[in-house]
Structure 1
Amino acid sequence: MDRIACMQSFVRAIEMNSFSAVAREQQTTQPTISKQIAALEKHLGVQLIIRSTTSLSLTDEGKKYYHYCQQILETVAEAEASLTGKEKATGILHLGCSVLFGQMQIVPRLQAFMRRYPDIKIDLMMTDNFVNIVEEGLDLIIRIGNHSDNSLISHRIGTTRRVAVATTKYFEQLGEPKTPEDLVHHNCIVYTRLSTGNEWHFQGNGDMIKVCVGGSFQTNSSVAIRAAVLSGLGIAIAPVWMFGDEIYQGDLKVVLQDYQPIPLPIYAVYRRSRFYPAKISCFIKFLAEEFQLDPWVSDYGAIAN
């Protein structure tokens, strides 16, 4: 029995709540993972996992052993890395991000990253749903906005500046809002995953201005927000990177520039550990450097006019 391999399968099974998911991750079969954990239980003489049709749960002995396995596996990784003094940037980086941000800000940069680190492969999961980094087996998540999960580490890599934007044709037909309060007379496209819902927040003259908006269309999809704005349906509060090219080309117009929507931080989020694989640190450093050169996501960038 390869005890380290069995420990790895045991820890990942609990993190992912699935033998099958671990099998896919390790490119093996579900029965193989099940046999590894059964071998551990036989070796230890205790039951570690209680299996049901929908979930896995730890016994009291399993909880204690799981804690020690995490420490052991981290120590093994540190020991292997210490042999060369510097861990080689290699392996599969399991990365998560939102759909449109991935399409527009992550994927276009991957070729440059892979040229720099040819031994790293990317497994990218894009979704606008909230993602549990442990359950999904991810190494790193790129998140927009603040969060309060103390079990994770957040490294700020940029800023999402937002604008009030619509097509020039829309404003020609319905006029431009001069103050945030004017938005109540417009068709506002609401992103339902925004933490403030249909209450849009602006900064102006040192004050916080909150306006409840409404309209004929709302959605939980950033892709749909972009499509709705470009079709002329109404006004949206959206990241400037979502429409940068169209703004500069004059197809879209930014309004209420004296009342800026509150910008949101961009974080690289990963699990707390005493050891971080080089593939994680290399990608964070690369993305932070890339973002600081891009005014649409840089901490120092300017709002498009």
Structure 2
Amino acid sequence: MDRLDCMRSFVRTVETGSFSAVARETATTQPTISKQIAWLERYLDVQLLSRSTRSLRLTEAGARFYEHCQEILESVSAAEASVSQRQNASGNLQVSCSEAFANYTLMPRLAGFLAQYPDITIDLRPADQFINLVEEGIDLAIRVGKFQDPALVHKLVGNSRRIAIATKSYLEQAGRPKTPQDLINHNCIVYSNLSTLNEWEFSAASKDGKRSPIVVKVNGRFHSSGSSTIRHAIEAGLGIGFVPCWLFGGVIPDDLQVILQDYQPEPIPIRAVYRRGRFVPGKVRCFIEFLTSEFQQNQMLCG
């Protein structure tokens, strides 16, 4: 058997915890993956995985071998990429992000990326919950807001402004708020997935030039846990929303009006994250560079 192929199967088995998952990834069968691991164990004359009916667990020797396999496979990938410009920007790129971010911010820009890199295909995996990149075999994910995970590398690709926004017809009927405190008397659309719930944080310039936070507790007759639903509620004139600009792809529709612009809070960071390793695949690097360039051209997505 090919030793590198067996190492790849071993590494992915450790990361996914399942022969079947690796078989699906590689379009082969579960017995084939099992035979590759068994071949490695015979070749090394040591048990790498402790098997039970419900789980796979690394042995002490298996843990050491796993670390070395990662280094070897990264080195092989780096060597291949260093002599092949084509390989630097080719292959299937698996991307994860929230469904709303995919629909409103990524989709309008993907045609440009695919035209620029004809040898790359994209497998977009929208998910509103954070997923494990290693277990799911995801190349890159887009994370908006605070992010901490030492197992992943993160690159800043943009900063999304947060805006208070409503339809022009709502503002004509209910009046236009002049300060954040005026929102108390308005019908506000509440995103129930936020940890702060109905507390909206704005900021105002102080005499020393610094900005101070202003927190307002709002109320409204419409709540939702879906980002896309919040956008539709704003567009339907159900009240005032407080959302990141990326929810509109960085382009505000003509029938909507941004309000309280003198009180905008700090922008929200948009990051591309990927698995830690010495080698960054060319397809990942190209996608990050493309997004950074795209967002820099949009004032609402570059902060």
Same fold per superposition (TM over 0.5): yes
8 Å Cα contact 1:237-1:261 kept in structure 2: no
Q: What is aligned with 2:38? A: 38
What are the superposed Cα offsets for residues 29-52 of structure 1, whole Å, 9 maximum, x if unpaired? 222222222322333333323445
Deviation at 1:245, TM superposition (A): 8.4
Tell me how far 1:189 sits from its aligned partner.
Answer: 2.0
CA contact (8 A) 1:201 1:262 kept: no
State whether residues 133 and 140 of structure 1, in contact with CA within 8 Å, keep that contact through their aligned partners in structure 2. Answer: yes
* Alpha carbons of structure 1 residues 218 and 35: separation in structure 2 relative to 1, 3 Å: farther
- Tell me whether 1:214 sits opposite 2:213 in the alignment: no
Name 2:186's counterpart in structure 1: 186
Identify which of 283, 296, 303 aligns with 2:300. Answer: 296
| Alignment match, 1:265 | 269
The code of the aligned residue for 2:225 comes to N
Give, in angstroms, the shift of residue 175 of structure 1: 2.5
Equivalent residue, structure 2, for 1:228: 233
Deviation track 1:252-281 (CA, whole Å, cap 9, x = no partner) reads 222222211331011111122111111111
Given the superposition, is the C-alpha separation of residues 54 and 228 from structure 1 closer, same or farther in structure 2, using an over 3 Å criterion? farther
| Residue matched to 2:118 | 118
CA contact (8 A) 1:157 1:287 kept: yes
Answer with 155-164 or 38-47: which moved more: 38-47
CA contact (8 A) 1:17 1:55 kept: yes
Distance 2:223 2:253 in 1: 26
**Structure-to-structure mapping, 1:1-305, within 5 angstroms:** 1-51=1-51, 55-84=55-84, 87-205=87-205, 206-243=211-248, 247-249=252-254, 251-299=255-303
Identity of aligned residues (%): 54
The answer to whether the 8 A contact 1:95-1:122 is kept is yes
| Structure 1 contact 246–252 (Cα < 8 Å) conserved | no
Query: What's the secondary structure of 1:103's corresponding residue?
Result: helix
Q: Is the 8 A contact 2:250 2:300 kept in 1?
A: no
Kindly tell me: are residues 52 and 262 of structure 1, through their superposed partners in 2, closer, same or farther at Cα, counting changes over 3 Å?
farther
Q: Per-residue deviation at 1:162?
A: 1.3
Task: Give yes or no for contact 1:93–1:280 (8 Å, CA) kept in 2.
Answer: yes
CA change 1:246–1:234 in 2 (3 A) is farther
1:84 CA displacement: 4.5
Q: Which runs of 5+ in 2 are unaligned?
A: 206-210
Contact 2:93-2:123 within 8 A present in 1 as well: yes
Cα distance in 1 for residues equivalent to 2:153 and 2:173: 48
SS at match of 1:135: helix
| Change over 3 Å in CA distance of 1:17–1:225 after alignment to 2 | farther
The residue type equivalent to 2:5 in the other structure is A
- 1:39-85 residue CA offsets vs partner (Å, 9 max, x unmatched): 22333333323445665432222222211111111111122233448
Q: Matched residues in 1 for 2:59 and 2:82: separation?
A: 34
Partners of 2:105 and 2:224 in 1: CA distance: 21
Distance 1:48 1:258, change over 3 A: same
Letter in 2 for 1:207: S
**Aligned partner of residue 261 in structure 2, secondary structure:** coil
Judge conservation of contact 2:104–2:248 (CA < 8 Å) in 1.
no
What's the CA shift for 1:163? Answer: 0.6
TM-score, length basis structure 1: 0.88
The separation in 2 between residues aligned to 1:192 and 1:50, in whole angstroms, is 44
Shift of residue 209 of structure 1?
Answer: 0.9
Larger mean Cα displacement after TM superposition, 81-90 or 56-65: 81-90
Displacement after TM superposition at 1:244 (Å): 6.7
Q: For the residues of structure 2 that align with 1:199 and 1:67, how far apart are their CA atoms?
A: 46
Q: Counterpart amino acid of 1:59?
A: T
Aligned residue type for 2:149:
D
Shift in Å, 1:217? 3.0
How many residue pairs get aligned? The number is: 298
